[in-house]
């Protein structure tokens, strides 16, 4: 009986484990963006928002739309992610009244409950997470709001 149990146990241990299904990086990235976020810092062309302005901003992501509310204004961005590029890419599209939609190119990094986005207000996608005076770039640092 002990021999039979040992054989069965050996067979179970030696049996190949089926591989886990592949994780779709795009779906994983989109899922990581979902929900409410608070603005920890926002720097545009080297100039940070003041603390009160950052704290009053509300940002929510639902599906592929990022909505931000600050200073009584609401702005929504449709976004697409490229988690396979290095650094990861994000394109944000927004439209103001009587203007055609505008695409803002950026990069992002998502580390657990911290999301950092660097974007170019004009021109090429940034290559690093930095915003300097006259750089036409901005950095947005967000923390996930815990439920």
* Distance separating alpha carbons of residues 8 and 70, to the nearest angstrom: 64
pLDDT of residue 119: 97
Determine what percent of the chain is predicted with pLDDT higher than 70. 86
Q: Give me the chain's average pLDDT, please.
A: 87
Q: Give CA–CA dist 94/145, Å, rounded.
A: 24
- Considering the four listed CATH numbers 2.40.10.10, 3.90.1300.10, 2.40.128.270, 2.30.30.40, the one that applies to the domain covering 23-144 is 2.40.128.270
pLDDT digits (tens, 9 = 90+) for 12-60: 555 566 676 777 889 999 999 999 999 999 999 999 988 888 888 999 9
Which residues are within 8 A (CB) of 113 and not within 5 positions of it... i.e. 6 or more apart? 143, 144, 146
Q: What is the DSSP letter of 118?
A: E
């Amino acid at each position: 009986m002990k021999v039979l149990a040992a054989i069965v146990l050996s067979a179970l241990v030696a049996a190949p484990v089926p591989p886990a299904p592949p994780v779709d990086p795009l779906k994983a990235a989109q899922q990581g963006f979902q929900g409410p976020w608070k603005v920890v810092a926002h720097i545009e062309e080297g100039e940070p928002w003041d603390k009160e302005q950052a704290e009053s901003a509300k940002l929510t992501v639902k599906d592929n739309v990022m909505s931000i509310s600050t200073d009584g204004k609401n702005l929504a961005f449709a976004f697409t992610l490229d988690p396979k590029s290095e650094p990861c890419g994000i394109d944000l599209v927004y439209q103001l009244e009587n203007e055609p939609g505008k695409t803002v190119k950026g990069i992002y990094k998502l580390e657990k409950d911290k999301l950092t986005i660097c974007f170019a207000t004009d021109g090429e996608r940034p290559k690093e997470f930095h915003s300097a005076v006259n750089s036409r770039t901005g950095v947005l640092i967000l923390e996930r709001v815990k439920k």
